[in-house]
Amino acid sequence: MGLGGEQRILLDLVETRAADMELAVRALRRRDLPGIPERMAAAGVSYGALGLTRGRPLGMLSLRALVRRAQPDLVHLHLEYSTLIGTLTVLSLPAPRPLLVASVANDPHRQALMHRYGGRVLAPRIDLHIANSGGIRDAMRQAYGGLTRRVEIVAPGIDLCRFDGSRVDPQRVSQYRRGAGRLIGTVARLAPQKAIHVLLEATPLLLREDPDTRVLIVGDGPLRGVLERQAGRLGVAHAVTFAGYQEDVAAAYHAMDVFVLPSRDEGYGLVFLEAMAAGVPIVGTRVIGSADAVEDGVTGLLVPYADAPALAHAVLRILGEPALAGRLRAAAADRVPRFSREAATARVEALYRDLAEQRRAG
């Protein structure tokens, strides 16, 4: 339950479906985001952490004891490490075992060899894989050699009300803008996958066009220090704000003139939906996941990965063409209502029930 979109998807599932299911959630490690235990408790969900680390692998035993004691109908695994640990744990139990569902949010080809090999070996033992996007589904089928039993696509959803401009504090928006003439922003985990270094490489080009341009980076992660030093080397530190992790990012989106996510790859890119809901024009990269979330030239602009000049050009094009920005906002506003968290989690529950019906029929 550290930083990341998949953790937020799990929270949405818990908070919207807790009234219809008896749920228990266990995180592998003890590094909760602020507010997660409280949100779980408010939803009436049993929550805890296994404390699993490289030096303490025995957390698997407590997970096994929990599953054996609770005898759940279904175990849902999020992300590749959880899938390996959870699947091996469930398979070690006597029959009848719970149904196994695995959420896949990352391209298996970019995972560590252990995760990729383990995913391939265990794929036939998992009852259902849920992919965030068509791109992830195709990559998973290729990486696992067609060994998956069943794959369904469930695009993530968001709390649409949360990004309604009428609910946003104008003072918070002003605090994020800090008087900037133009504010280019991102919301991302500061990890290699998100490629925030490319946004920093594009910043001198943006400042050359307008010295009053500012860049807002909301999020935290292992590369924060590296990125801060990069901003210093590029001479743009005065124009870049590292805001760190923020529980409520709605005001940050509403402060932005353009939202940018230069990722190497995505599962889907939950933040694209959030930016669309906030009415912010989008620039992303033409990579797996992002290309599923953003329709190039319709709901946003996509550029090649790791191409800082192309990224800067796309941003400047949106800023310099109000008619284009308006069309992108309008198309995004039409698209995003289909991606509510209620619709996404209801789809997941329907898949649960379908698996249970198939088991009963069998």
Q: Would you tell me how many other CB atoms lie within 10 Å of the CB of residue 6?
A: 20
Query: Which pair of structure tokens corresponds to residue 8?
Result: 């937020």
What does CATH list as the number for 5-157+341-361?
A: 3.40.50.2000
Q: Which tens digit of pLDDT belongs to each residue from 23-57?
A: 999 988 777 677 888 889 999 999 988 888 776 76
Among the four given CATH numbers 3.40.50.2000, 3.30.300.30, 3.20.20.70, 2.60.90.10, the one describing domain 160-338 = 3.40.50.2000
Mean pLDDT of 171-184: 95
Residue 1 banded pLDDT, cuts 50, 70, 90: low
Nearest Cα to Cα of residue 273 among 296, 255, 297, 290: 290
Q: Which tens digit of pLDDT belongs to each residue from 338-358?
A: 999 999 999 999 999 999 999
Task: Please list the residue range(s) of the chain that carry CATH number 3.40.50.2000.
Answer: 5-157+341-361, 160-338
pLDDT of residue 2: 64
DSSP-derived 3-state class of residue 152: strand
Mean pLDDT of 274-278: 97
DSSP-derived 3-state class of residue 121: helix
Residue 261 Rama label (left phi>0; alpha psi -120 to 50; beta): beta
Query: How far, in Å, CA of 5 to CA of 204, rounded?
Result: 29
pTM of the complete model: 0.90
